[in-house]
Amino acid sequence: MAKVLVTGAAGFIGSHTTDLLLREGHAVLGLDNFRTGHRRNLAGALASPAFELLEADVAEPGVVARAAGRFRPDAIIHLAALVSVQESIQDPVLNRRLNFTATELVAEAARRHAVGRIVFASSAAIYGDTTDLPITEETAKQPISPYGEAKLQSEGVLLAAGAGLTARCHRYFNVFGPRQDPASPYSGVISIFERRYREGQGVTIYGDGRQTRDFISVHDVARANVIAATKPGIASGAANICTGRATSLLDVVAEFARHYPQVPPPRHAAARAGDIIHSLGRPDRARTELGFAAQVSVADGLAELIRAG
């Protein structure tokens, strides 16, 4: 059994990661200030004697260090962040605090209290709008937002931490699944579409719908996090957390239409300037270094999301 401190534990990815850690028999201390996370996401975790929740701001100096000093975790999974790219543009100071300074504080706490491993929520946003597909870990890093810049700088801090600390930086692609808030400015297209279909409304597709994404289930992402935090013999490094399969918006809409045949067909609007047309990751490094491969298909993930709604 490992002891794992999870920052952002009440969030979309954080709560699923926490649930999986508990199911596998680990003890978890969750930190969250509920800026974007929800207590309801932790309903199952709060019923477990192996889970403790600390309501606190990870970006506040001393918070993570005190928690690590008391809990003595074997690993920290650092998921707390400013999660909106648009908000990072509107408030770059806040983005810097939540997406970079907080990472520095997590790394400092790990060094001070001999935490052996950090798993960090990075993002495919560090690659910018590259058209060099599939995206590998060696693809040029050209973030086009303060959000992506802070994620890339955070990777640098963690991977330069030196001996005694294993750092795994997970570059998530398009994560979807239950508990993703469709009202959030960060929400992916799938959670927005799911709400509109559930409410009996049609959806709007900007462009022809042939644009593609590498959609990955939150269950697979949680599994990658748990492997990286608890599997023996893991070395420091960065890896894409993706499926390596491209899914178009037309494919997504077709799946929703199978479940909601009464909902009107999608409307099409002019493509939005700046939208990335295609995104696809290469998952080989995660398979080699973590023994991780995505298992949940988009169709199965959508079916679960619809049932949960």
Catalytic positions are 147
Q: Is residue 171 within 8 Å of residue 238, measured between CB atoms?
A: yes
Task: Give, to the nearest 10 degrees, the angle between helix 102-112 and helix 146-159.
Answer: 10
Which burial class, exposed, middle or buried, applies to 248 when counting CB atoms under 10 A from its CB (0-12, 13-18, 19+)?
middle
- DSSP assignment letter at 244: S
Amino acid at 249: L
Strand pairing class (247-248; 212-213) = antiparallel
Q: Is residue 286 within 8 Å of residue 292, measured between CB atoms?
A: yes
- DSSP assignment letter at 97: I
Amino acid at 179: R
Partners of 118 in the β-ladder: 76, 167
Long-range contacts of 194-200 (CB under 8 A, 24+ apart): 194/256, 194/302, 194/305, 194/306, 194/309, 195/309, 197/256, 197/259, 197/260, 197/263, 197/306, 198/260, 198/306, 198/309, 200/260, 200/262, 200/263
Whether the CA torsion 98, 103, 105, 109 is positive or negative: it is positive
Q: What is the DSSP string of 183-208?
A: TSTT--HHHHHHHHHHTT---EEESS
